[in-house]
């Protein structure tokens, strides 16, 4: 059982009151959700995440996995980050992959994988396996053509203790930041259907190696 979490949602921008509502992420509070970033031409991250998430879902199903998505389309708002985490917890998922793309300075390139910091009583039970999942996902992303991030993290990894989707997860969970939507070379790749399929294959490869390794 794998949970694929396409970050944000296509109509979050139209529901500021709902998505700005504070939710508890274990270490404090945070907005229920955010609009996500966008390319220079306005192409929204929520749409990109949704496209890649569907490809990843299909690839995993083709390999025999059971897949649960945290949202069923790109036409609504939410769910809150806490509800997304609850989806993985209630499914007792073997792995949760949240799919995102970044909106960094335009000269920054590349992907990074985010794994949960070890927070006592919160993520100390999932930090180890999540890092192993992150390691598999980073390795799988190396063959997609997207370089490792040169603007954030360290060698393609970033440890975070401030993300509700990770803090509230009771099962192994990572975020994939596929690339920088503000960078011309990255966005050309990110919107290329063959690259998107390579990411989907990479996600499925990573999950498979994580579960069988
Ligand atoms: Zn995002």
pLDDT above 90 covers what percent of the chain?
Answer: 100
Residue 172 has pLDDT above 90, yes or no: yes
| Res 12 pLDDT > 90 | yes
Average confidence (pLDDT) over 141-168: 97
**Higher pLDDT residue, 213 or 16?**
16
Predicted local distance difference test score (pLDDT) of residue 142? 98
Separation of CA 58 and ligand 1 centre (Å): 21
Alpha helices in 69-213 (DSSP H): 81-90, 127-141, 164-167, 184-190, 193-212
Tell me, in angstroms, the distance from the centre of ligand 1 to residue 37's CA. Answer: 7
- pTM exceeding 0.95: yes
pLDDT at residue 213 above 90? no
CATH number at residue 71: 3.40.630.40
Q: CA-to-CA distance for 32 and 81, rounded, in angstroms? A: 6
Mean predicted lDDT score pLDDT of the chain? 98
d(CA 201, CA 57): 10
- Give the residue numbers marked as catalytic: 177
In total, how many domains does the chain have? 1
Strands 95-102 and 29-31: unpaired
Give 43-99 pLDDT, tens digit per residue: 999 999 999 999 999 999 999 999 999 999 999 999 999 999 999 999 999 999 999
Backbone angles phi, psi at 178, to 5 degrees: -70, -25
| 3-state secondary structure (DSSP) of residue 122 | coil
| pLDDT 10s digits, 93-117 | 999 999 999 999 999 999 999 999 9
Q: How far, in Å, from the CA of 36 to the mean position of ligand 1?
A: 5
In this prediction, residue 198 carries a pLDDT of 98
Range of the domain at 99: 2-212
For 62, the token pair is: 């083709």
């Amino acid at each position: 059982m794998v949970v694929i979490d396409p970050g944000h949602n296509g109509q979050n921008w139209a529901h500021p009151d709902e998505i700005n509502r504070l939710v508890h992420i274990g270490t404090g509070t945070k907005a229920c959700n955010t609009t996500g970033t966008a390319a220079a031409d306005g192409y929204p991250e929520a749409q990109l995440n949704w496209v890649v998430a569907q490809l990843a879902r299909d690839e995993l199903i083709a390999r025999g996995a059971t897949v649960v998505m945290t949202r069923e389309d790109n036409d609504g708002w939410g769910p809150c980050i806490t509800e997304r985490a609850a989806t993985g917890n209630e499914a007792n998922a073997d792995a949760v992959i949240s799919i995102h793309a970044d909106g960094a300075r335009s000269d920054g390139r590349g992907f990074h994988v985010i794994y949960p910091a070890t927070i006592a009583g919160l993520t100390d039970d999932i930090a180890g396996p999540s890092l192993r999942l992150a390691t598999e996902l980073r390795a799988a992303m190396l063959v997609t053509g997207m370089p490792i991030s040169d603007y954030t993290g360290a060698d393609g990894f970033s440890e975070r203790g401030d993300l509700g989707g990770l803090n509230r997860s009771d099962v192994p969970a990572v975020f994939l930041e596929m690339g920088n939507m503000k960078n011309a070379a990255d966005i050309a790749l990110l919107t290329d259907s063959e690259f998107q399929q390579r990411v989907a294959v990479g996600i499925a490869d990573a999950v498979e190696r994580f579960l069988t390794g």
